[in-house]
Chain A
């Protein structure tokens, strides 16, 4: 069964550094998402992406965040200048359409020191 993949599994960075988290969605899916989960808390929506543009973003997704689909397979989340509070598990997800099953990747644990 196809799965969403993410790299790296764990990223450690210094505060103020830029990080890029990478995702490969399921190949026939059209909608892509980033969520984050701070340790012990609920999963929170960051951004959705469709047809090469952002469909919706949450209040968390400020100017420090950006997303890109640089080629036909990858979907990336960039945090330009990381803060301590960006430490979390970041999940990529994809779906065939709206309001249907979203399949999650294994996550990238980001630790900002």
Chain B
């Protein structure tokens, strides 16, 4: 099955700096890659996603890039703010094969933004 690796596990940045979180996946059939933000004790919330037919997507301070050939995708947060502090999970999913619709998550990155 799919294996999603995520780095780093923890990331501390100063307010206003950029943060980058990287993920790799193993299954070339994966074609949808969401990113979730999870605040302590809360549900995972989708913040951005990208499909395999797109190389980059941006939404205000958040962007995601995808390299299908290398099987990796990254989350970029610019001008970080303290409220960006949370655990961020990448995930991969395929709509083909035996694992239809199953989200495979990375291990998460604890992002801390210091004021």
**Per-residue 0/1 for A72-113: is the Cβ within 8 Å of any B Cβ (1 yes, 0 no)?**
000000000000000000010101001111111111000000
Chain B contacts of A98 at CB under 8 A?
A: 95, 100-101
A65 on the B face (CB < 8 A):
no
Interface residues on B, range: 20 to 34
| Across-interface contacts of B103 in A (CB, < 8 A) | 33, 35, 43, 45, 93, 102
Contact for A104 among B44, B95, B101, CB less than 8 A: B44
Shortest CB-to-CB span from B39 to chain A, Å, is: 11
Determine if B44 and A43 form an interchain contact, defined as CB atoms under 8 angstroms apart.
Answer: yes
B residues in contact with A99, CB < 8 Å = 31-32, 93-95, 101
Q: Are B43 and A56 in contact (CB under 8 A)?
A: no
Docked Cα-Cα span, A50 to B44, in Å, equals: 22
| B43 and A106 within 8 A (CB) | yes
Instruction: Count chain B CB atoms within 10 A of each CB in A35, A104, A105 and give the residue with the most.
Output: A104
Extra contacts, 8 of them, besides A43-B44, A99-B32, A101-B49 (Cβ < 8 A), are A33-B101, A42-B108, A44-B105, A48-B100, A48-B101, A55-B100, A91-B43, A101-B46
